[in-house]
Amino acid sequence: MSEEQAGQDAGRPGLLSSRPVHRGRVVDLAVDTVRFPDGSTGELDMIRHPGAAAVLPVLSPMDSADPIVVLIRQYRYATGGWLYEVPAGKPERPGEPWDDVARRELEEETGLRAGTLRLLTGIYTAPGFTDERIHLYVAGDLTAGTQSRDADEFIDVVRLPLSRALEMVRDGEVTDAKTICTLLYAAGFVFGR
């Protein structure tokens, strides 16, 4: 890098240094020294996550008046109980394509295989302290596959009309952010509700 480039980059917001604190099975924690847009610097706790894919399985034809969707009811220690969620998970290896992650997690958690898979959007889960980005999908033309859950996954598969899932969002029964985003995005932009 030339002196001129270094001088130009010196004022840009971003990472100056990173001090690892913990490397875990799911996330890594670091304390980053960063430059802010006004030129000041500070330290921020940063959780690094490889990202994930989440998928809304649709059992009935996509043009159904009230399509039947699949959610999972999963025990989550961090929340102190059970949550309704869309199937989701992280890559098994660096560079694994997101649609492959979505297909694999769908089958592992629900026992269903996607015939069609459509990317909806991507979301940052908590950009104040993590770089985790979840890629949201909708899956159709489902066929039977094989469930293969991790030892710490306790899951019930729930089939219900989209209208009921949306009521559950409205009534606070669905509180998982990726699930709310996936359901509302699909309802508004795939099913036109």
Compute the distance between CA of residue 53 and CA of residue 93 in angstroms, rounded to an integer: 13
CA dihedral 69, 72, 73, 79 (to 10 degrees): -120
Q: 6-49: per-residue pLDDT in tens?
A: 444 568 999 999 999 999 888 999 999 999 999 999 999 999 99
At 166-177, the pLDDT tens digits run: 999 999 999 999
- Residues 29, 70 within the same domain: no
Q: What is the pLDDT of residues 143-166, one digit of tens each?
A: 999 888 888 889 999 999 999 999
The boundaries of the domain holding residue 111 are 52-190
**Residues 153 and 75 both lie in one domain:** yes
**Residue 25 token pair:** 């099975």
- Those residues whose C-beta lies under 8 Å from the C-beta of residue 126, and which sit 6 or more positions away, are 132
pTM of the entire predicted model: 0.90
| Residue 1's pLDDT band (cuts 50, 70, 90) | very low
Biggest alpha carbon–alpha carbon distance for the chain: 63
Same domain, 81 and 175: yes
Report d(CA 90, CA 134) in Å as an integer.
9
Task: Give the total number of structural domains in the chain.
Answer: 2
Same domain, 43 and 74: no
Structure tokens at 83: 């949550």
Q: Are 44 and 133 within one domain?
A: no
Q: In terms of domains, do 128 and 181 share one? A: yes
Say if residue 68 is in the same domain as residue 157. yes
| Last-in-domain residue among 28, 48, 68 | 48
Query: Are 161 and 181 within one domain?
Result: yes
The mean per-residue pLDDT over the stretch 120-139 comes to 96
Same domain, 36 and 129: no
Q: What is the CATH number of the domain that holds 109?
A: 3.90.79.10
Do 34 and 56 reside in the same domain of the chain? no
Residue ending a domain, choose from 48, 67, 84: 48
37 and 115 assigned to the same domain: no
pLDDT in the model for residue 155: 93
**24, 77: one domain:** no
